[in-house]
Structure 1
Amino acid sequence: MFVMTVDQRGSRRDVDRVADVLRSPRPALVRPFERTAGDEIQAVVDTADTVLDVALDLVDDGHWSVGIGIGPVEHPLPDSTRAGRGAAFESAREAVESAKSAPARIAVRGVDADSAADADAVLALLAVLVARRTDQGRDAIAALRRLGSQNAVAEELSITPQAVSQRLAVAGWHLERAARPVVARMLATADRLAEKEVP
C-alpha cells in the first residue's frame, strides 16, 4: 500500500493551497486527501500507477513536498485518512521530511529499504525533468494529453506543428513517457516486497 504525505512549501509566505488539492477529483484513491495538520495533507493509494500520476501532478504544480511511504497499513482502514496506522504511514512521514530538501521535493521510503531507495532514485530523476519545464512546455504537454495529436495542439496554440514538436522535446515529453512505466514498475516492486516482509 502507498501513503502520500504532502506538505505545502513556503506556506507562511503563500496562500493556503490545500483546499485546491482537496477539491480536485481523484476517484482512484483508496482514501482521499485529507488535511492532517496545518498545510499538510495525506492520502492512501493502492496502485503504483495512481501514486505516480498524483505525485507528478503535485511536482508539476510546484508548491509541494511529496512523500511516498510504501508498506502495510492496519486493516480495516478507517474512513478518515488521518486516523490510519501502519508502516506505510510511518514511511510517508519519513519521506516527506526527506522531500523537503530533495532536488525535486519528492522522496520515497518503504519497509523494503533497498527497493524503496531504487524507486526513490529513478522517481527523483523523472520529477526533476517535470519540475524544470517551462510554462510553454507544460501547456504543450497538457494540450497533447487532452487533444491526442500534435496537429490539434498546434491548432489550439496557434503555432506550427514543428514548434509543438520542439516544445515537447525541450520539455522532455518523450523521456517522461518512456520513464513512467519503469518508475511505476519499481514502485510496484517495492510495494510487493514490503508486503512480503509482513510477519
Structure 2
Amino acid sequence: MFAIYARYRGRDVRRAELVRRSAEALSTLPGIGNFDVIDVEDICATAQGEDAAVAIADVTMALLSAGDWAVGIAVLPTDSNEDEEVARVMAGNALGTSGRSGTVKVRVAPRSSSAATAGLRELKQQANTWAFDISAAFTLLSAVLAKRTAEGREATAFMRRGLTQVEAAEELGITKQAMSQRLQAAGWQAETAGWQLAVDLLQKAELGVC
C-alpha cells in the first residue's frame, strides 16, 4: 500500500480553491484513491493494487510538473496489517512540517514477515535505503522539470497522454523534427528513464525485493 501527502507551497491568493481543484483533478488519475483536503493547503490519498506504484509515480510527477508542491510518500509492505489511515499519517510524517516546492520525502515501513529471519536493525536499514533511493529518483526528475520552458512543458504533456511524436506534432502544428528537438531540449528521455526507475523502486520497496 502507498499513501501520498502533498502540501501547496505557492502564493496564489485563492489557495484554498486551487488546492480543492487540484485534489479533484488528481483524484481522476488511474489507480489513485480520492484526495482529501486537509487544513486548506494539504491533500492526501492512498493507492493499492497491482498498478499502485505507477499511480503514485504519475501523481508525484503531476505535482512536480505543476510546481509549488512538496510531497511526502509512504510505502507499506504487502505483508503489512496496517490500514489506510496509518499510511496517510506516515506520508504526512515523511513530509514533516516544512518542505520546499519540488521536494519529495519518502518513508518505507520495514517488512514484518522477515523479522524472524532478519534483525530489526537490518530491516530498518533496508527500508531507509529504499526511501533514500526513491526520494533521490524524484529529486532528479524535479531538477529536469524545473529547467523546462513553456514549449517543453507543452510538448511533454502530449507525450504523457500517450500520443506519438507525430500525433503530438500535429496537435502543436509543428514538424516531427521540431517536436523531436523540443523533447530533447526538455529532457524527455531523462524523464521517462527516471519515471521508470521510480516505479521500479516503489514496487521493490512494497514487495521487499532487494
Range of TM-score over shorter length: 0.7 to 0.9
Give the 3-state SS of the residue equivalent to 1:32 in structure 2. Answer: coil
Equivalences for residues 48-197 of structure 1 within 5 A: 48-71=53-76, 72=80, 74-75=82-83, 77=84, 84=85, 86=86, 88-97=87-96, 100-101=99-100, 104-111=102-109, 112-146=127-161, 148-193=163-208
- Normalization by structure 1: what TM-score? 0.80
Residue 193 of structure 1: how far off its partner (Å): 2.9
Deviates more, 1:33-42 or 1:185-194: 185-194
% same residue: 32
- Normalization by structure 2: what TM-score? 0.77
**Number of residue pairs matched by the alignment:** 183
Residues 192 and 141 of structure 1: is their aligned pair in 2 closer, same or farther, counting only changes over 3 Å? same
Give the 3-state SS of the residue equivalent to 2:60 in structure 1. Answer: helix
Q: Partners in 2 of 1:41 and 1:97 — Cα distance?
A: 14
Q: Partners in 2 of 1:177 and 1:128 — Cα distance?
A: 14
Residue 130 of structure 1: how far off its partner (Å): 2.2
Match of 1:7 in 2: 7
Q: Partners in 1 of 2:44 and 2:19 — Cα distance?
A: 11
Contact 1:69 / 1:95 at 8 angstroms: preserved in 2? yes
Structure 1's unaligned 5+ residue stretches are: 78-83, 195-199
Structure 2's unaligned 5+ residue stretches are: 110-126
Aligned-pair Cα RMSD in Å = 2.4
Match of 2:35 in 1: 33
Deviates more, 1:138-147 or 1:54-63: 138-147
Deviates more, 1:51-60 or 1:178-187: 178-187
Residue 132 of structure 1: how far off its partner (Å): 2.6
Residue type of the alignment partner of 2:82: E
Residues 28 and 147 of structure 1: is their aligned pair in 2 closer, same or farther, counting only changes over 3 Å? closer
